Amino acid sequence: MNNERREFVRYQIKPHTVFLFSNYSPVKGWVKDISRGGMSFEYTPSEECEPKPEISLILVGDAFPFYLPDLPCKTIYDIKVDKNHRPFKTTGIRRCGVQYTKLDPEMQEKLEFLLSSDLM
């Protein structure tokens, strides 16, 4: 039996649906899962392309109009994805997990809209 320690339920997002980029670093990637408290995403690093300890993210919906700018968060983990578990054996992909910090009521409302959408 696996005990889940997360405070919030994680929702899996359909592949290549929600694109993410950072205002303060050149990180660009696709959101893998999301919750009321944070999210994880995958990205391909380039030179000096690692997420900063505290970054501000922008989520953009590909399948429907959705834009959530300047989502403040801090990095919880940043790990290399095992290429043996990838369908195309792409090298260098990393997965990053972030926790939201200081969400204002408007951001919380937009996040709730995303979580209640049919992207999951």
* pLDDT tens per residue across span 13-52: 888 888 888 777 778 888 999 999 999 999 888 766 666 6
Range of the domain at 77: 11-115
Angstrom distance (rounded) from CA 74 to CA 59: 15
More confident of the two residues 35 and 54: 35
pLDDT digits (tens, 9 = 90+) for 72-82: 889 899 898 87
Alpha-carbon distances of 74 from 25, 53, 89, 116, 119, rounded to whole Å: 13, 5, 29, 24, 24
Q: What angle do CA 49, 78, 33 make, to 5 degrees?
A: 105
Interatomic CA distance for residues 41 and 28, integer angstroms: 9
- pTM higher than 0.75, yes or no? yes
Decide if pLDDT at 57 tops 90: no
**Is 96 within a domain?**
yes
pLDDT at 35: 93
Report the CATH number at residue 73. Answer: 2.40.10.220
Number of domains in the chain: 1
| Amino acid making up residue 39 | M
